[in-house]
Every structure is written in structure tokens, then in C-alpha cells.
Structure 1
Amino acid sequence: MEDNDVDTVFGIPASHVIEIYDALRDSRIRTIVGRNEQACAYSADGYARRARRPGVTAVTGGPGLGNIVAGLQTAWSDSSPLVAITSDLSAELRAAGRRGIPHETFDSRGLAAATGAAVTTADSSGELYAAVDDALAASMAPRRGPAVALLARDALESGWTAAPTSPPRPRRQADVPHALIAQAVDALTSARSPVAIVGHGVLWSDAEAALAEFLGRAAIPAITTSPAVGALASSHPWWAGTMGDRSAKELIQSADLALVIGSSLGAASTDDWRWGMPAALVHVDVDPEEFGRNYPASLAIRCDARHFLESASGMLAPVGDRPGLVAAKRPRHPWVDALDSALPVGPTTIVGDVSTTLRWLVRSLHASPRRRLLMPWNSMGLGWSYAAAIGAQVAAPEDAVVSVMGDGGALFSIGELATAVEHDLPVCLVIFNNRSYGVIAELQDSLFDGDRFGVDLRTPDFAAVANAFGVRSWKVDSPRGLHDAVAQATTTRSPSLIEVAISLEDFV
């Protein structure tokens, strides 16, 4: 791992991975011990998204592997390089079937692979290094995604052999297809009303600056998908809102060409593909399997987003007179405005969760490359945010990190307050408490005439729970109170929790 510049591992020591933790103790790698394996996987995912490199978790096989399935699935769905290092039984015991052995699993490889993760294995000590090295490499190319290294118990017990003397394999960059990019530039300059749709591939390629320069030279409006919020500052003159805004939909429908950069145009971004797209669609992505998957492309360009944007900017001639963009109007919401205005001016990461608040964060937050918004967008697993925020804070200690959750999601990971305290991670957890699974309550109201079932929750006094962990807390019931609490919490730089009393209707 050190050879691949891994600097942090999230996990829980256990008997079947005890050798891994013994090695970590004597390494340069920081170990963040969590309180359950699912949270450890979410933390590694949050680390990966903020650091834009593999986030690593080390957990036991059997129940530990089972507990990280949601994390692996979320990482696969959102193309995040989460790497799990875990144990497996020896080849002999795997072949013998159920024997009542602690931590046995019917099919560890099949369980991991079912999440979409790449799987590597080691059945001897000589294969351990390669299994981990291959998993780290698989997580980053060509499309990022999860990987699992399954290390047999007898291999771990035999001890690690010396690492190969050759340096780590180089990460080869694909050739930049300049001829195809030139075709795209010609199509853009010939179009009367082109529009750019920006996906999170721009973030993974560190292309925010290249995107801003390209749009300024091309003079075309850009719409960000929800996972790409912050790739372009909302103050940029050619920012035209986010997918989901009515104005964005109208802009796309009136366009004669769409330039799609680093987005698959999946169901969550296009209202289950109800959004129409122009017949002229230039699609740029590192993964050729995305071309035509959801919308047909008139020109498909396999290329890293940053390389495309930099190359295209160099080819652009003055565009002449193109109609100016009417500044996008961000929908306002009093609670989001209060949070937004209280955040520090320095680098900030807001981590959303699946809740009624998320749609308003996406639409109303003043996002930029220095004010990022992370979220579990496609898989939409509840309870991701706080554990992921811990990982983001480890990846970027200088950031103010704020996790925004509902009360239902917060109870998935409330035990990770202990992790934040133990490792002195100044994450601010904001819990909007409407005492319900709000998203499902809204759906039941819509489909069943207000006849709800299983969505009204009995929640604890979250502030008191925080105090029991030694975490500073606030209880507020107004936007002004939220503003003041967030301002104080992000200034003190210690773990904190803010419980916000709201009604279900506050985020409709």
C-alpha cells in the first residue's frame, strides 16, 4: 500500500485480519478505527471522493465483508475508487463447504463481485502483494470503481513476502484523440445554441479550472449534474443551473447541440430518461461503454475530461456573437440559505445524505471548486453522509466539513461520533429532525392519499447523545439559530452536532 501512496486505512481489527493490522502498526499509514464495517467503507468512500484517489478499508471476511456490501455498491454506482482488503478461508476450506468455521461465507468472491467490484485473490503468501496492488490499480482504471482483495487466512498466517523490487506500475494515460476533439470544436462553433452538460468525470480528472477556461472561450452555457455540483462555480457567467431545474430542462430542449462531459446521463439525472436531448450530442467519457447506453451520441470521444477541455480550448477560435446567457436563478430556501451563509470562506466540503434536504442542497447551495458537495447520488443508500464526512475530513484536514442528514439516516451511523472524537476530526453533523423517513412519507402521501405506514419515527435527543460522546452540540428551531450554530461549530474546529427541529413540510 505504501508503494501506491496509500496514507490512510479505515477499518476494524479482527482475528482474521490481525496480521494486516500488525503490519499497519509499524507502517507510515494512518489507521482510523471505526465502529462498524459499513461506516468504515463509507469513510473510505468519502476519503476517495475528496482526495480523488483510492480510499482503503480493511475488514474481516465473513460478517465484515457482508457489512461493507452497501459501501461497495454505492462506490460502484457512483464510480468511486473504494478498495476493500479482507480475509477469506483457505482454498481447501472453501472447497469443503459449510463447516461451522468462524467468519465463513458461502462465496466471498461471488458476494464481492455482485456489488460490481473488481476482485483479486491471494491463496499464498507470495500472492499477497500482487492482490493488493492489483486491487488498487483496478479501482482507478479506466472508469473508477470499487475493488476487493480477498486474502486467504493461510496466506496471511504465512507472512508477507518481500515486495517486488520493481517500482509500481505506471498509470498509463490514453492517447488524446485530437482529430475527434477538432470535430467536436467545429460542431460547437457551428451550432447556434449549444449547451454543455457537466458530469462528475470533470471532478475525478481535476478539470475544474480547465472547464471554467473552456466555457469562457467557447461562450456556451453549462449545466451540472447533481454529482458534479461545484465543478463550476455558481457565480461563473456561463453556469446555467443543475439538472433538475426547470430552466435547465428548457435550455437543453432549445439547444441544437449538447456537449456531455463525464456524465452517463443516467436515470437519476434525467428524470428516468424523460428529458429529451438534441440529435447532435457530443459525448466525452473515459469509458466507451457509456456511449449510447442512455442516449445516442452523434460523436463519441473516449478521453479524460481534463485532456479534452484543455485540448479543445487550444483549438477554439473566437466564437463571434453568440446570444448571452440569462443568469441562472438559484432556487432559494431559508434553511439552506442559513447554512450557506454561515459556512467559512475557505475550503469547505458539504456531505449530503438521502433525505428531503438533499434536493435543496443540490439546487440552492452556492457551490464552487472550493465549496464541494458530496453525495451518494445513484445508489442513494441512507446513512452514508456522516461516515463519508469523516473520510473527507481525513483526506482534507484543512477543510471545514459539514455532514447534512435527516434523523432517519443519522441513526445509521451515530456511533461514528466516537470515531470523530477519538481521532479529533472536526466534522460538524447537522441533523434535520422531522421525526420521519421524510422522502418515503412524501411518496406515501402522493400515492396513498396521505395514508402513511412505517415512516413516523421515535428519535432520541440527538444533542444529549452527542454530549454523551463528548461532542459539543446545539439544538435550534429557526434558520437564524442554524446560521449561528454552524458559524460557531465550523470555527471551533472540534467534533460537533447541531439538531434542527423541523416539520416534514419544511423541505417539500
Structure 2
Amino acid sequence: MTMTGAQALLGQILANGTDTIFGLPGGQLDHFFDAMYNAGDKLRLFGTRHEQGAAYMAFGYARSTGKPGVYTVVPGPGVLNTTAALCSAYATNAPVLCLTGQIPSVGLGKGIGYLHELPDQLATMRTLTKWADRAMTPGAAPALVNEAYRQMGSGRPRPVSLEMPMDVMGASADVALLPKAEIDRGPALDDDAILRAAKLLSTARNPLIIAGGGAIAAGEALQELAAMLQAPVVSFRSGRGVISDRSPLSQMFPAGYELWKQADVVIGLGSRMEQQYLYWKVPDHMKVIRIDIDEEEIDRIAAPAVAIHADAADAVPALVAKLSGMLDRRASREDELRDLAARVRGDIEDRVQPQASYLAAIRAALPEDGYFVDEITQVGYTSWYAFPVYEPRHLITCGYQGTLGYGYATALGVKAAHPDKAVVNIAGDGGFLFTANEMATAAQHGIALVTVLFNNNKFQNVQRQQREWFGGRLIASDLKNPDFVKFAESFGIRAERVYDPESLRRAVSAALERNEPALIEVPCGDMASPWPFIIRPPAFETQGEEA
């Protein structure tokens, strides 16, 4: 078919099953936005008020679905405005596609000073993504789009970028669209490594499983493995919900610290295990089995006793099959593990207030299949270990990147991906204003996100450190805020203010029932530090060279 470069890009994106794009129009994207207009009801376009909002929404879409989240922005400053979201996607293994325009092709590399020109945008994007390339003809677009999708879906998922000069987007040529991209199969299983892991586990007295985001595709088999071994499963952020927190085998991160002290064989499943290696420490007697689709990750910090380079979805069922002929039925640890969970939760409820009570209120209002999006704030830190999660991908975080202010726009992307599910996000007064302008997007598109804003008029984490580490020399940590209720109402969003957990529970329940955008402000004072349950002293004095 004869089509423009922009039509070729969009046609191949649609061929790969994408039906939602987030973006902001501009000169170098005029042809692409016209192509989206002509796509009609084949596509949902969410126009945003800032490039970072578009990228974070694509990030939320990807994090909550596991499918590629696509956004489109102009080059230069438009692309650079999205890089915090790309860093978050890279940190959390989220498949996000940045689709961007470029200056006219005749000017590439010449430094003439075209609108939005960067010295070398493609080189910049290659430092921030798994893969980046440029389509220089309409006919090249389908194969490059497919390569972008192949990169996102094969191996370790991470963000990618594809650009096309504005004149190429407008040029017409005969173009053949392709079938959707073929995703590479995972690495072939090493039967010998599976056997060695099974032998270690068959003699383990206190096995423990550390599950990260790479374990999500292996949930059912992981449940079977954990039950066979009576091995508790501990997750920190991305792995939460792979085993429902209703199961006694699912243990909170602080409980995992206690279990670590008795563990003799540990499976690291799709997890970087940085907390365990760097902080808890690995003693000489402990044997670690690492299962990861990223071969470089397996011994990045220390070499494991057994390394299995594989997709968890392949490796865990194979491990279950191998163990089934080796294990006798093990005594249930349910009572022991329920007691541990209750003791740790009680400790959290005593020491981390008011966060624990507010999180309990939100959990009570949120349906079991509802999504919770955190923020870099005191309540957010606490949610990593204290908010019950019942399904994978239902606790959304930005991982180790810690991108303050990411939460609101990301949550809009989660809700756009799941319009029929309840989505609640939390915010602090400091981070909220990073993307609060996207309340305009929520109102315009009717994105029924419920936001709980905790307001103490400060960057509390910064101020705590200034008080504790720098003798109380406070600088730039006190904040002057707007009236957030009036601010939200100015966008046409219903807003209210509550002062205690029970009032918050009722307000969240009512807002979810109304199914429209909502902001609930919670004025609060300083909160207890959540960090003693995250940053722990070494569980052991020594660490072996091989774990």
C-alpha cells in the first residue's frame, strides 16, 4: 500500500496489538497525529499536558499489564522531558516504547539549529534504553517497529526508543506492513543446573524464596514449589502479589529478614537480591540458587551456588517436576508462619504510624482486584512492606529509581489500562505537584482515578535527615502549598479533606463508587520513620566469597 512514514509507523504499531497511545502533539509529529486521527476507533489517544505525563502514563500502562506502553513526543526537549519515566521503566523492567519525531533528515548531524535539535538524540537514547534506532524511510518503519516490540518482549523487558525525521513521516512510499513481531523464546533450560538445584533443595531444612518482578509469569508454579518445600516467599516491591498475601507462605519483607537468619538454601527468583547481598549479608553456610532471564544479573554481586539462566516461567515448573520424585511430604509451617506474620505486622502497627492505619483504611476500601500506586513519600515507603497485595502487578512502584513525583501520572496510565477496575494512588504534597497538572488530563478524558494526598507542607524525608544528620540545619525542605481542594476543583475534579483513617476509608469507598476523578487531601503532621523495617543491620557478621 502507498502510505506515509507516519502511517507506516502507526500501522505496524496497531499490527502488534497496541490500541492505546499517550502523547503530546507538536511540529515534528503533525503527520503522526493526523495518522492517529484517521485510525478512528482502532486507537485510544490520551493527550497529556506535559511530556513527562505522557511517558509516566505509558509506564503505568506497562507496569500494570505487562504489555508495551507507547507514548509519542516531539524530539529534543520533548524527549528529554520523558527521561525520568524511561529511567523508571528501565529500573522496573517495564516495556515502554518512546516514539519520537526528529528534525528534517537533511539536517541530522550538522548542528544547524533546527527546532528541538539535540547534538545526537539517538546516541542519548541508547544510553537510557535497551534499544534505540531511527527509521529513515517509510518502508523501513515496519521492520523497525517490530524490532522495538521484539526487544521489549524478549529476554529482560526494558524501554526502547524509535525516531523518524519529520519529512520522512510526511513522505509517501509503497510500504508492506508485517505480521506482529515474533518474541524470542527464553534460554534453553540447563537440565544439569535444574538437577543440582533440586538436590540442594531436597536436603534443605529451612528453604526460603526471594521473588522479584521476574517471578510474575511463574506464579502458579511458584505457589506449587513453595508448598512442596514449605518455603516462605518474600518480596519487596515488584514481586508483591505473585503469591497472595492471604497465603501464610507469602511473608512481608521485614518478616523475611527474620526468616533469612534461619535459611540454609535460598532461591533468588527474578530478583536482584540487592537487599540480601548488600545489607542482610550471605553467610558461608547458606547456599543460593539464582534463576534469572538476565545472565548478567545472576552473579552481578556474588556468584551463586547454582546459576540457572532461564525464564522463571520455564525454570520453576522444571524444578517442581524434578523435586516431585525427591521430596517426602513436608510438615506444614502454616501456624509458625501465620504467627510470624502477625507478630511483625503488630510491630509495624505499633511503630509506623499513622502510615499503617491509613494504609489499612485504603486497603479496606479498595477491592481485592484493585490497583494501588505508591509515591516516594512516607506512606509509600511503608506500603512496600505493609500494604497487603493479592495479585501480581497490583502494587505499582518505580523501583530503585525513586523518581519523586512519578505517582499521579503513572496512576492515570494504570487506570487508562484498567478502566473497569478500581485504582487508588497516594501522593505527598512535595511529589504531587510534579505532575498535578495532569488533573486536566484526568478531567478531559474522564479517567476515574482516586488520589489520596498526604500533606504536611514539607519534604519530610529530607527534613528528617537534615535534623538527624546535619544538626537541624533545615534548608529547602519546608514547602508552601496551594489549597489542594480548590486546586483540584478548578479542574472540575471533586475534592475533599479528611483527618483520620476511618474518614479516609469512607471517602475512598464513596469516590470509587462514584467512578469519577477524585482527590482526597489528608492534612497530617510528621510521620514515624518507615526505614527501620527496610534498612536492617547485617543478619550475619561475615559473608562468604561464594554464596
Output the CA distance in 2 between the equivalents of 1:164 and 1:183: 47
**Residue aligning to 2:257:** 249
- Residue of 369, 377, 385 corresponding to 1:355: 377
Q: Give yes or no for the alignment of 1:310 onto 2:299.
A: no
Distance 1:164 1:334, change over 3 A: closer
Output the CA distance in 2 between the equivalents of 1:159 and 1:114: 32
Q: Give yes or no for the alignment of 1:137 onto 2:142.
A: no
Q: Please say if residues 240 and 392 of structure 2, whose CA atoms lie closer than 8 Å, have aligned partners that are also in contact.
A: no
Shift, 1:282, TM fit = 0.4
**Residue aligning to 1:35:** 49
**Residue aligning to 1:299:** 306
Shift, 1:100, TM fit = 2.8
**Residue aligning to 1:10:** 22
Letter in 1 for 2:25: P
Task: Kindly provide the CA deviation profile for residues 340-378 of structure 1, in whole angstroms up to 9, marking residues without a partner as x.
Answer: 112124x11100011111121122111111782101111
Q: Give yes or no for the alignment of 1:25 onto 2:37.
A: yes
Distance 1:25 1:161, change over 3 A: farther
Q: Answer 1 or 2: which has greater helix percent.
A: 2
**Residue aligning to 1:326:** 337
Distance 1:488 1:506, change over 3 A: farther
- Residue of 243, 255, 261 corresponding to 2:269: 261
Q: 5+ unaligned residues in a row in structure 1: which ranges?
A: none
Alignment of 1:448-467 (within 5 A): 448-467=470-489
Q: 5+ unaligned residues in a row in structure 2: which ranges?
A: 1-12, 350-355, 531-547
Percentage of matched positions with identical amino acids: 28
Output the CA distance in 2 between the equivalents of 1:141 and 1:491: 39
**Residue aligning to 2:202:** 189
Letter in 2 for 1:344: P
Q: Give yes or no for the alignment of 1:274 onto 2:279.
A: yes
Task: Kindly provide the CA deviation profile for residues 297-342 of structure 1, in whole angstroms up to 9, marking residues without a partner as x.
Answer: 1111111112222222233334444572432233332111121112
Output the CA distance in 2 between the equivalents of 1:42 and 1:130: 26
3-state SS of the aligned residue for 1:474?
Answer: strand
Shift, 1:227, TM fit = 2.0
3-state SS of the aligned residue for 2:464?
Answer: helix
- Residue of 419, 437, 460 corresponding to 1:438: 460
Shift, 1:176, TM fit = 3.4
Distance 1:259 1:170, change over 3 A: closer
3-state SS of the aligned residue for 1:274?
Answer: helix
Letter in 2 for 1:277: V
Task: Kindly provide the CA deviation profile for residues 56-88 of structure 1, in whole angstroms up to 9, marking residues without a partner as x.
Answer: 001111111111111111111221111100012
Q: Give yes or no for the alignment of 1:151 onto 2:174.
A: no
Q: Give yes or no for the alignment of 1:419 onto 2:441.
A: yes
Shift, 1:161, TM fit = 4.4
Task: Kindly provide the CA deviation profile for residues 106-150 of structure 1, in whole angstroms up to 9, marking residues without a partner as x.
Answer: 110122122234111112222222222222221222111110001
Letter in 2 for 1:87: G
Output the CA distance in 1 between the equivalents of 2:180 and 2:56: 30
Task: Kindly provide the CA deviation profile for residues 443-466 of structure 1, in whole angstroms up to 9, marking residues without a partner as x.
Answer: 212211222110100111111111
Output the CA distance in 1 between the equivalents of 2:310 and 2:82: 32
Q: Please say if residues 15 and 178 of structure 2, whose CA atoms lie closer than 8 Å, have aligned partners that are also in contact.
A: no
Task: Kindly provide the CA deviation profile for residues 132-190 of structure 1, in whole angstroms up to 9, marking residues without a partner as x.
Answer: 22222212221111100011222112146423355533543433334422322221111
Letter in 2 for 1:232: I
Task: Kindly provide the CA deviation profile for residues 214-256 of structure 1, in whole angstroms up to 9, marking residues without a partner as x.
Answer: 21122111111222122221121212222xx1x3223113211
Distance 1:162 1:486, change over 3 A: same
Output the CA distance in 1 between the equivalents of 2:142 and 2:410: 27
Q: Please say if residues 348 and 400 of structure 1, whose CA atoms lie closer than 8 Å, have aligned partners that are also in contact.
A: yes
Distance 1:166 1:132, change over 3 A: closer
Distance 1:289 1:151, change over 3 A: same
Output the CA distance in 2 between the equivalents of 1:161 and 1:431: 52
Deviates more, 1:56-65 or 1:107-116: 107-116
Letter in 2 for 1:30: R
Output the CA distance in 1 between the equivalents of 2:271 and 2:320: 20
- Residue of 102, 110, 119 corresponding to 1:96: 110
Q: Give yes or no for the alignment of 1:66 onto 2:80.
A: yes
Letter in 1 for 2:14: E
Letter in 2 for 1:131: L
Deviates more, 1:370-379 or 1:149-158: 370-379
Output the CA distance in 2 between the equivalents of 1:307 and 1:104: 45
Output the CA distance in 2 between the equivalents of 1:170 and 1:376: 25
Distance 1:218 1:68, change over 3 A: same
Normalised by the size of structure 1, how large is the TM-score?
0.94
Output the CA distance in 1 between the equivalents of 2:242 and 2:235: 8
Deviates more, 1:298-307 or 1:407-416: 298-307
Deviates more, 1:248-257 or 1:155-164: 155-164
Output the CA distance in 2 between the equivalents of 1:170 and 1:478: 49
Q: Give yes or no for the alignment of 1:85 onto 2:99.
A: yes
**Residue aligning to 1:369:** 391
Normalised by the size of structure 2, how large is the TM-score?
0.87
Output the CA distance in 1 between the equivalents of 2:72 and 2:527: 41
Output the CA distance in 1 between the equivalents of 2:174 and 2:23: 23
Deviates more, 1:2-11 or 1:119-128: 119-128
3-state SS of the aligned residue for 1:411?
Answer: helix
Output the CA distance in 2 between the equivalents of 1:159 and 1:446: 63
Q: Please say if residues 289 and 304 of structure 2, whose CA atoms lie closer than 8 Å, have aligned partners that are also in contact.
A: yes
Distance 1:29 1:95, change over 3 A: same
Distance 1:445 1:23, change over 3 A: same
Q: Please say if residues 357 and 507 of structure 1, whose CA atoms lie closer than 8 Å, have aligned partners that are also in contact.
A: no
3-state SS of the aligned residue for 2:478?
Answer: coil
Q: Give yes or no for the alignment of 1:341 onto 2:391.
A: no
Q: Please say if residues 142 and 178 of structure 2, whose CA atoms lie closer than 8 Å, have aligned partners that are also in contact.
A: no
3-state SS of the aligned residue for 2:162?
Answer: strand
Output the CA distance in 1 between the equivalents of 2:252 and 2:370: 20
CA RMSD, 1 decimal: 1.9
3-state SS of the aligned residue for 1:227?
Answer: coil
**Residue aligning to 2:221:** 210
Output the CA distance in 1 between the equivalents of 2:251 and 2:279: 20
Letter in 1 for 2:195: A
3-state SS of the aligned residue for 2:94?
Answer: coil
Distance 1:85 1:407, change over 3 A: same
Q: Please say if residues 253 and 277 of structure 1, whose CA atoms lie closer than 8 Å, have aligned partners that are also in contact.
A: no
**Residue aligning to 1:490:** 512
